[in-house]
Amino acid sequence: MIHATAAEMAKALAAKEISSVDLTKAHLDRIAEVDSQVKAFLHVDADGALAQAQAVDEKIASGQTLSPLAGVPLALKDVLTQQGVPTTAGSKILQGWRPPYDSTVVAKLKAAGVVIVGKTNMDEFAMGSSTENSGYGPTFNPWDLSRTPGGSSGGSAAAVSAYEAPIAIGSDTGGSIRQPAALTGIVGVRPTYGAVSRFGLIAYSSSLDQAGPFGRTVLDTALLHEIISGHDPKDATSISAPVPAVVHAARNGDVKGVKIGVIKQLQGEGYQKGVQARFDESLQTLASLGAEIVEVDCPSFEYALAAYYLIAPSECSSNLARFDAMRYGLRTGDGQGASAESVMSKTRDAGFGREVKRRIILGTYALSSGYYDAYYGSAQKIRTLIIQDYAKAFTQADVLVSPTAPTTAYKIGEKVDDPMAMYLGDVATIPVNLAGICGMSLPAGLADEDNLPVGFQIMAPAMQDQRLYQVGAALEAALNSKWGGPLLAKAPALGGVK
């Protein structure tokens, strides 16, 4: 039952062939069986999930027409608030906090009858690319337990890849949905900035953050995308426009006559041989399906990583000021006449991990008078140039493509002491965030040298998210037929270490 797609599960639920309670129990059993190895979850809400499943079963029994994913289990990244359920954003500073309100994403999931089974592990405050920066220990890649699942939404990606949930929610500030999707052999989409409400999404970098869906298929991802999207008056940056027809596009994959632009700057040198090989093959597949492949030039992308690692830390140094030990979360150093400032400083040292401190200090530096124009100001101008590069490229192509990440999954501990090496893993995903557009990663096969999954990235203009699904569905169908089934079927049984 747990190996079916979310669409198949929903169909069986609507036809009363299975119950949501049984489906949820099957996933809770799977979590109990494998999560001691994968460590995808920070908190499993068995009682809450079963209550939600019971409610959906009753509605189905009474003949109500429900949403396309009603009764289907989902794993939720711990960066989104869920009322009464522990929410930490992977940080010790929020250990034990139970939010008094639902994020808009969670409210929409509940309204759609989606069953939230638990909160997934992540790099602390979504700062990282391997889930090793979590305050609660790393998550392990189901394909090879000695490797990272990517990050920062590594817990959500690993949960879907390990059949602990068919779908999951992540958030993507610099690639944190697409990169872990690539490294665990599943599909992940970062929707257009503003398409999914950020209300209740614990902020890292407000002008870049966006929640989005994971699934094992393009269609499952589209079904979830549609449910969480839409205008929200509680988020001033929420787009007031109809949700793109992503489900229709996912059901009608087609690339005949579609112009696909290969970004010159996001391939070749620095990309692992097996990654480049699978990417090139996917391009040939798309061409054989009738797509027209063109090369596009985006010269400013060379500076995207530098701009990102100024803008995101700058915004985070401001956003994380709210963790002040006064209203919620950790408080240490209190008593004996200690000043508020001293309590705040001691609490922030005790509650934040190394990478979070590193980024707050970098952001504080980049925003300080005397350096502001040279660092933050310049980065904002680079951002304009990247937007202009995309605008020009999208006059030459309907979608743009690249490998999602330059390498396959790396070993736990390999890059944790070398921040710059870790940051380089985001080189192909960051431009999307800086421009506020949308992007998808889907499986392109296994690299020859290590038999680990490779991701193929598709990018489309703002609010043209349906193009990702139209092209993604066509590529997925062609590759699955070539492989004789989905890529995930090739994953080794859990417990294996390479």
Partner 1 sequence: MSSLSRDEVAKLAALARIEMTEAELLELSSQFGMILDAVARVQEVDLSGVKATSHPQPLENVARPDVVAPSLSPEAALSGAPAQEESRFQVPQILGEAE
Nearest to 404 by CA among 433, 369, 353, 440: 440
Return the number of the residue (266 or 286) whose C-beta is nearest partner 1: 266
Distance CA 39, CA 136 (A): 10
- Using CB under 8 A, which of 147, 216, 348, 415 touches partner 1? 348
Does residue 307 belong to the site contacting partner 1 (CB under 8 A)? yes
Q: Exactly one of 39, 77, 119, 415 is catalytic; which is it?
A: 77
**What's the Cα-to-Cα distance from 232 to each of 126, 228, 238, 470, rounded to whole Å?**
23, 11, 6, 26
Return the number of the residue (328 or 483) whose C-beta is nearest partner 1: 328
Q: How far is the CB of 348 from partner 1 (least distance, A)?
A: 5
Does residue 344 belong to the site contacting partner 1 (CB under 8 A)? yes
Nearest to 196 by CA among 463, 473, 426, 469: 463
Return the number of the residue (20 or 265) whose C-beta is nearest partner 1: 265
- Using CB under 8 A, which of 140, 193, 204, 214 touches partner 1? 193
Distance CA 114, CA 228 (A): 11
Q: How far is the CB of 453 from partner 1 (least distance, A)?
A: 28
Return the number of the residue (209 or 450) whose C-beta is nearest partner 1: 209
Does residue 194 belong to the site contacting partner 1 (CB under 8 A)? yes
Q: How far is the CB of 375 from partner 1 (least distance, A)?
A: 7
Does residue 401 belong to the site contacting partner 1 (CB under 8 A)? no
Return the number of the residue (156 or 192) whose C-beta is nearest partner 1: 192
The single-letter DSSP state of residue 85 is S
Q: How far is the CB of 402 from partner 1 (least distance, A)?
A: 19
**Ramachandran region, residue 380 (left: φ > 0; alpha: ψ -120 to 50; beta: rest):** alpha
Return the number of the residue (58 or 349) whose C-beta is nearest partner 1: 349
Distance CA 335, CA 332 (A): 9
Does residue 331 belong to the site contacting partner 1 (CB under 8 A)? yes
β-bridge partners, 169: 76, 213
Return the number of the residue (98 or 273) whose C-beta is nearest partner 1: 98
Question: What is the bridge-based pairing of β-strands 167-171 and 41-44?
Answer: unpaired
Does residue 365 belong to the site contacting partner 1 (CB under 8 A)? yes
Footprint of partner 1 on 466-495 (CB under 8 A): none
Distance CA 257, CA 268 (A): 26
**What's the Cα-to-Cα distance from 122 to each of 30, 93, 133, 296, 432, rounded to whole Å?**
20, 14, 8, 34, 21
Q: How far is the CB of 234 from partner 1 (least distance, A)?
A: 8
**What's the Cα-to-Cα distance from 52 to each of 47, 111, 288, rounded to whole Å?**
9, 10, 46
Q: How far is the CB of 303 from partner 1 (least distance, A)?
A: 6
Question: What is the bridge-based pairing of β-strands 292-296 and 211-215?
Answer: unpaired
Cβ neighbours of 137 (radius 10 Å): 12
Distance CA 248, CA 205 (A): 32
Does residue 312 belong to the site contacting partner 1 (CB under 8 A)? no
The enclosing H or E element of 76 equals strand 73-77
Footprint of partner 1 on 59-98 (CB under 8 A): 97-98
Listed ranges 127-135, 182-190, 323-331, 391-399: which one lies at the site for partner 1 (CB under 8 A) = 323-331
Q: Exactly one of 91, 103, 176, 300 is catalytic; which is it?
A: 176
Q: Is the peptide bond before 171 cis (omega within 30 degrees of 0)?
A: no
Q: How far is the CB of 100 from partner 1 (least distance, A)?
A: 4
CB 333 within 8 A of CB 347: yes
Task: Give how many residues touch partner 1 by CB under 8 A.
Answer: 73
Which amino acid would we find at residue 352? F
Does residue 305 belong to the site contacting partner 1 (CB under 8 A)? yes
Nearest to 216 by CA among 173, 177, 167: 167
Which amino acid would we find at residue 413? G
Q: Exactly one of 20, 67, 91, 152 is catalytic; which is it?
A: 152
CB 77 within 8 A of CB 98: no
Does residue 310 belong to the site contacting partner 1 (CB under 8 A)? yes
Does residue 110 belong to the site contacting partner 1 (CB under 8 A)? no
Q: How far is the CB of 8 from partner 1 (least distance, A)?
A: 36
Footprint of partner 1 on 371-390 (CB under 8 A): 374-375, 377-385, 387
Does residue 239 belong to the site contacting partner 1 (CB under 8 A)? yes
Does residue 111 belong to the site contacting partner 1 (CB under 8 A)? no
CA dihedral (20, 22, 25, 26) positive or negative = negative
Q: How far is the CB of 116 from partner 1 (least distance, A)?
A: 20
Listed ranges 124-132, 285-293, 359-367, 394-402: which one lies at the site for partner 1 (CB under 8 A) = 359-367
What track of x and - describes contact with partner 1 for positions 412 through 451 (by CB under 8 A)? -------xx--x----------xxxx--------------
Footprint of partner 1 on 133-192 (CB under 8 A): none
Q: Rounded to the nearest 5°, which phi and psi values hold at 488?
A: -60, -20
Is-catalytic flag, 176?
A: yes
Does residue 349 belong to the site contacting partner 1 (CB under 8 A)? yes
Angle, CA 192 vertex, CA 204 and CA 466 arms, to 5°: 150
Catalytically active residues, by annotation: 77, 152, 176
